Amino acid sequence: MFNAAKYQSMYNRFLGPLARPVQVLVSSDGEFISYAMTGHVTKYRESDLVPGGSIQLGDLKLIMLYEDFEAFGITKLELKDRINIDDRTYSIVHWDEYSRSVGEKKIAVEITIRGGGMATIASRAVFRIIGTGDQRITGDGDRRIIREAV
């Protein structure tokens, strides 16, 4: 039987040397609150892609310890939240807290992120979140829906 404490210890050892600094930006009342954490960043392999699936070539896989989120009182990241890695901003595509858990104990989360544009977060006057994507108001007042943050 798999023991949650052993699994947690294994992830702590695994992520220690492989982790890099990550800024988690949680959207709150029109502002982003930044939390400094660490995570392991890797690319998806071509074999990970499923036709019609949510993962696209170029997406990144971010593995972070769930206890880091718990320490800040964060239970889950939403599509409106952002991740900064190496001065680049990524949007959340998928949050998976189940594949790296033992029973009810959440050990780590795997987050699919997409983007990698400049790290400047647009204000709410420019970005407004809607159910299926971001609504961007362009300089001429035109509105269009985009599926990923750029």
3-state secondary structure of 11: helix
6-16 pLDDT, tens digit per residue, is 878 888 787 77
- Domains of the chain, CATH where assigned: 4-121 (2.40.10)
Mean pLDDT of the chain: 78
Q: What are phi and psi of 77, to 5 degrees?
A: -90, 145
37-66 pLDDT, tens digit per residue, is 999 999 988 888 888 888 888 899 999 999
The whole-number pLDDT of residue 81 equals: 94
Q: For residue 55, what are the β-bridge partners?
A: none
The rounded distance, in Å, linking the Cα atoms of 72 and 135 is 29
Structure tokens belonging to residue 10: 């294994």
Please give the model's pTM, rounded to 2 decimal places: 0.71
